[in-house]
Amino acid sequence: MFSYTDPVEALLGYRSWLLRQGQDWAGHTLAEGRKHGKSVVARLAGIEDREQAAALVGADIGVDRHRLPAAGEGEYYWADLEGLEVRHRDGQRLGRVVRMLATGANDVMVVQAAGEPGREILIPFVPSMYILNIDVAERVIDVDWEWD
């Protein structure tokens, strides 16, 4: 599995997982797991053979929000950033964050361009350089990013 936690094995600290296939979430219990290279290998209770495991390939893994630690100062859960309005430093609305990407060097915000269906703007999530301000309560992110 690929884990978006930092460190990747932090996912193993949660015994109750939610797996999403399509639009449906289902609860599962972690039986055992370990870090394996840059990913995680795990066995879920009740999943006893390869066919059952193969049926879960591609599923998203989640954890109930109330089980997660509070984000520290200047830290954000991706779920809290998705849906926020993105504004250029001059006040012009660029669009909304539709998802986040992990690229290795830094995370990237994928922004659905305002008034341009299908067009996405990729903005490196680098605070103090491109990300000027994040106000989760006001649901806005101010950026210093030039676009074409």
Which residues are 17's β-sheet partners?
A: 28
The arithmetic mean of pLDDT across residues 121-136, rounded, is 96
| Model confidence at 144: pLDDT above 70 | yes
Q: What is the DSSP letter of 79?
A: H
Per-residue pLDDT reduced to its tens digit, 78-97: 999 999 999 999 999 999 99
Per-residue pLDDT reduced to its tens digit, 26-45: 999 999 999 999 889 999 99
Q: Provide the CATH number for the domain formed by 78-143 in this structure.
A: 2.30.30.240
Within the chain, which residue ranges are assigned CATH 2.40.30.60? Answer: 8-67
Return the pLDDT at 1. Answer: 86
Within the chain, which residue ranges are assigned CATH 2.30.30.240? Answer: 78-143
Per-residue pLDDT reduced to its tens digit, 49-59: 999 999 999 99
CA distance 12 to 35: 9
Of the CATH numbers 3.30.750.210, 2.40.30.60, 1.10.540.10, 1.20.1250.40, which one belongs to the domain with range 8-67?
A: 2.40.30.60
**Best CA proximity match to 42, nearest among 78, 10, 79:** 10
The pTM of this model reads: 0.76
| Model confidence at 60: pLDDT above 80 | yes
